[in-house]
């Protein structure tokens, strides 16, 4: 039985589809729609794993949640370790750092802004708003600095890795939920253009959410789409 990926519409689980498309790993895709009222995961998805969030993968007896864990599991178990750099690789430390930075630093910094917006706390002078915005700006600046001309991909140089697969969702589809501009970050924009040119990325995006007809959100400004239509 092939690997099964439970994908929630417009969510982080798109990263697993992209990974499998990059590695040509066969998978069964089970799509789940968000609740139109809360945008949360439906009961069928929540019941699969105690974490109750997307993604969830099933592989034989294994049921796994948490994006980075799933990415590592799939690449190591089904992809022969491709897109992961080994400890002997000259860029190993950079790879590990950026692989974890996506969910360990960027996502929390975006989520803090999202929670404040959802709570209606938007006054730019509010100390929490200032703190949250400052942390997000610092993250985006750090990422932009990393993606200078010498670094086509995040681990450094020309080598596309799982760190790239982890990084893109918060900068693209994630902006349906937390809209922010990337206009000040030319290196991130050039990076997203390169991502959009990857056939595997385009294939994954068209397989993931065909009914939603989402624009890919690879440009400077966030998508304007009404979240309730997701």
CA atoms of 177 and 173, how far apart (whole Å): 8
- Between 5 and 151, name the residue whose CB sits nearer to ligand GSH: 5
Which two three-digit tokens encode residue 73? 């599991």
Q: With binding defined as CB under 6 A, does residue 111 bind ligand GSH? A: no
Residue 58 to residue 18: CA distance in whole angstroms: 17
Distance CA 84, CA 79 (A): 10
C-beta closer to ligand GSH: residue 40 or 115: 40
Q: Which 30-59 residues touch ligand GSH, going by CB under 6 A?
A: 40-41, 53-54
Shortest spacing between CB 56 and ligand GSH, in angstroms = 9
Q: Which two tokens stand for residue 54?
A: 């997307």
Regarding 11 and contact with ligand GSH (CB under 6 A), the answer is yes
Residue among 83, 94, 98, 106 at smallest CA distance from 16: 83
Neighbours of 187 (CB within 10 A): 16
Question: Which part of the chain contacts ligand GSH (CB under 6 A), choosing from 5-13, 20-28, 156-164, 199-207?
Answer: 5-13
> Strand 56-59 and strand 27-32: pairing?
unpaired
Least Å from the CB of residue 69 to ligand GSH = 8
Cis bond before residue 55 (omega within 30° of 0): yes
| Minimum distance from residue 188 beta carbon to ligand GSH (Å) | 20
67 binds ligand GSH (CB under 6 A): yes
- Closer residue to ligand GSH, CB minimum distance, 46 or 198: 46
Q: Which residues bind ligand GSH (CB under 6 A)?
A: 8, 11-12, 40-41, 53-54, 66-67, 103
């Amino acid at each position: 039985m092939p690997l099964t990926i439970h994908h929630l519409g417009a969510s982080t689980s798109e990263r697993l589809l992209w990974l499998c498309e990059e590695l040509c790993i066969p998978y069964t895709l089970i799509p789940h729609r968000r609740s139109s009222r809360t945008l949360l995961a439906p009961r069928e998805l929540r019941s699969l794993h105690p974490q109750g969030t997307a993604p969830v993968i099933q592989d034989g007896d294994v049921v796994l949640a948490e994006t980075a864990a799933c990415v590592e599991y799939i690449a190591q178990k089904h992809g022969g370790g491709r897109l992961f750099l080994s400890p002997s690789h000259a860029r190993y430390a950079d790879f590990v750092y950026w692989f974890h930075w996506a969910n360990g630093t960027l996502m929390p910094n975006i989520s803090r802004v999202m929670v404040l917006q959802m709570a209606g706390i938007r006054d730019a002078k509010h100390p929490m708003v200032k703190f949250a915005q400052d942390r997000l700006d610092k993250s985006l600046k750090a990422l932009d600095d990393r993606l200078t001309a010498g670094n086509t991909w995040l681990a450094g140089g020309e080598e596309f890795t799982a760190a790239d697969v982890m990084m893109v969702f918060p900068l693209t589809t994630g902006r349906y939920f937390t809209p922010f501009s990337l206009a000040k970050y030319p290196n991130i924009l050039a990076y997203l253009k390169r991502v959009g040119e990857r056939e595997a990325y385009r294939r994954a995006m068209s397989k993931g959410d065909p009914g939603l007809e989402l624009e890919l959100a690879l440009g400077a400004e966030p998508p304007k789409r009404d979240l309730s239509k997701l």
